[in-house]
Chain A
Amino acid sequence: MKKLLVLFILAAFVSVLYPLYSSFHGSTGLTEVSQFYASKENIEKVNSQNLVTAVVVTYRGLDTLGEVTILFLTAAIIAFFLKKESDKRTLRKNSEIFKTAAKLLIPIITMLGIYIFINGHLTPGGGFQGGAVIASAVILMFLAFPNMEFSHKFFESLESVSGLVYVGLAAFGAILGLGFLDNAILPLGKFGELFSAGAIPVIYSFVGLKVGAELSNILHKFKSVQADN
């Protein structure tokens, strides 16, 4: 009976969405907004090779700011709900092979994350991806050395400082009269080189640091309530 009701609701959902689905014939071109973003003068103005990065950091920079704020709020609420309990577990020792491999791999993975968000305007990648890669390095650290004490202050201060610098760079563009989150506050440089897209690599690096610190913070919260009370 109940499943019948659910099926009825799903059928209603499908009937609402079906015209949308059947009228979709594959998009034949870009929308007007995207054509504006991909026009020649705008590409020369922003000077970023990766158009997705250009959209995320400059054109839709306010979205990114809101997204980072949501992530911060999520981390704060999770910290409020999961109070730290004393860890009294007796853990099985990790084998020596795993520890050595982790010691070798953690710096490499962190370096890969930093590479991804510094080169965000040239290759696929950017702040969010690099932050996620850094958080996975932190996960490996948690798994390999479970008894190590992590300084909570470090993640929090890293996150606050990078958020502050991010908002500061954004406001700096407004002060110079260019616009909030404009990338022209630094010289543009030659197209396709590392120091080319103005402030985009700098802003995206701080976004990456902030996202990485926040995700690591959330994961650390989930790890610290694994106590055996």
Chain B
Amino acid sequence: MEILELIGAITTLTGSLILLVASIGLLRMPDVYNRLQVGTKATTLGTILSLLGIILIMPGWWGKLVLLIFFVMMTSPVSSHVLARASYFIKIPFTDKTVVDKLKVSAKARKVEYEKK
């Protein structure tokens, strides 16, 4: 029992460290898209790790916590995707260091393909 609790505590600590890194990244990143990337990737992993640690510490709660992990995995990336798409289409500018815009390239390719038909 002891060892399980220890592993759980370490997992939770790792998750909260990842969340801390994510919040530092939110301050450091230059534009919306980078911030969204940091916010979503790190917070999804951090939250899931924290919940996994709680499962190891409190094995009786696993049903609810697995449901919570499912919800986090479903909602967090999708909402970030929708936010990034919306901010792309209302033309929030990139930072100067951006070199490639894949969405524009693929949209142009699709347009050319569409006009060919």
Measured CB to CB, the residues of A under 8 A from B are 92, 94-95, 97-98, 101, 104-105
Contact = CB atoms under 8 A, between A and B. Distances in A.
B74 A95 contact: no
B78 interface: yes
Contacts of A94: 82
A92 B85 CA distance: 11
B74 A105 contact: yes
Interface in B70-100: 74-75, 78, 81-82, 85, 89
Question: Which of B75, B78, B81, B89 counts the most chain A CB atoms within 10 A?
Answer: B78
B74 A104 contact: yes
15 contacts: A92-B89, A94-B82, A95-B81, A95-B82, A95-B85, A97-B78, A97-B81, A98-B78, A98-B81, A98-B82, A101-B74, A101-B75, A101-B78, A104-B74, A105-B74
Given A92-B89, A105-B75, 6 more contacts: A95-B82, A98-B78, A98-B81, A98-B82, A101-B75, A104-B74
A116 B89 CA distance: 38
B90 to A, nearest CB: 10
Interface of A is mostly: helix
A98 B81 CA distance: 8
A64 B84 CA distance: 42
A50 B89 CA distance: 48
Contacts of A92: 89
A54 to B, nearest CB: 25
- The 5 A-B pairs with the shortest beta carbon distances in the complex, nearest first, are A101-B78, A98-B82, A97-B81, A95-B85, A98-B78
A92 B78 CA distance: 17
A174 to B, nearest CB: 41
A95 B106 CA distance: 14
Nearest to A94: B82
Contacts of B74: 101, 104-105
Nearest to A95: B85
A126 B66 CA distance: 24
Nearest to A144: B82
Contacts of B85: 95
